Amino acid sequence: MLMKKILPIIILLMISIQWSCEKAIDLKLKENEPKYVIEGIITNEPGISKIQISETKAFSDDNQFNGISGALVKIENKGITIVLTETGKGIYETAAINGTPGETYNLTVSIKDELFKASSTMPQVVPFIDFTLKPNDYDTIRVTPMVKFKDPLETKNFYWFQQFVNDKIQKEYRVINDDFSNGREINDYLPFENNTKNKALNFKKGDKLTAELHCIDPAVYTYLFSLFDANGSDNGAAPSNPLTNISGGAIGFFSAHTVQRKTITIP
């Protein structure tokens, strides 16, 4: 597996697997390049399927969500089309879709005279076996719990770990593939860090750490992996847009994926 970015102190190689460390979406586009941003998720959990639509801002603007109202948002699966309801500015939702592994979901978004499309096939579930923390694997600024899961031998697989501290999502996440781990049991670290100067974010006894394991399709993996380029590289190269799976000129991603989560508490 190619490696996009690994934090300097996080070079963890166990059973030949490499982690790709990314940041939350923070696109550095030119001032004269406003673009629609479409972010959509369908999972195998009962509940709400959500599509968020916004527009990029100039660097000098605030970082508030710039939601786009009035879009027509549809999701089609097996010949049945669901129109999503706008529940807030730029937020489109439906409770009528129950995501199923193996099925393909097709998204269409109409904004004024522009049309955007995307498709995603939900992979099969790969069981999230364990999430553990050894007594000596944490301090106030860094906690290194371990995740455990077994990669299936018969299929190509892509994984996305999202991280939460006390139920608050973190900017960092991990995406990996099984190029070097096909069919193997994976036991590796998933570091949580406070890289800021805000001591209020330091880790303490009783803090709750949650890891979500998503099985994602290849196009979503490529998008998440390429977000490093969207944020600019360490060698000063000009930033570029990530490799979206949405056609029509928008940026963002549409993902039908499985969800499993495990939580531990710092002792």
Strand 185-189 relative to strand 246-247, pairing? unpaired
Cβ neighbours of 58 (radius 10 Å): 11
Instruction: Please name which of 22, 96, 49 lies closest in space to residue 256, comparing C-alpha atoms.
Output: 49
Record the tokens describing residue 173, joined without a space. 């996440």
Report the pLDDT value the prediction gives residue 240, as an integer from 0 to 100.
58
Owner of token pair 């193996």: 102
Q: Give the end-to-end CA distance of the chain in Å, rounded to a whole number.
A: 34
Please name each of the domains of the chain with its CATH number: 36-121 (2.60.40), 123-234+257-265 (2.60.40.10)
Give 22-50 pLDDT, tens digit per residue. 333 445 544 457 899 999 999 999 888 99
Give 203-220 pLDDT, tens digit per residue. 999 999 999 999 999 999
Asked whether the beta carbons of 191 and 139 are under 8 A apart, the reply is no
List per-residue pLDDT tens for the chain, 267 residues long.
Answer: 333 333 322 222 222 223 333 333 445 544 457 899 999 999 999 888 999 999 987 655 556 788 999 999 999 999 999 999 999 999 999 999 989 999 999 999 999 999 999 999 999 999 999 999 998 899 999 999 999 999 999 999 999 999 999 999 998 899 999 999 999 999 999 999 999 999 999 999 999 999 999 999 999 999 999 885 555 444 333 345 789 999 999 999 999 999 999 999 999
Report the pLDDT value the prediction gives residue 61, as an integer from 0 to 100.
59
**CA 172, CA 267: separation in Å to the nearest integer?**
23
pTM of the model: 0.83
**CA 42, CA 99: separation in Å to the nearest integer?**
6
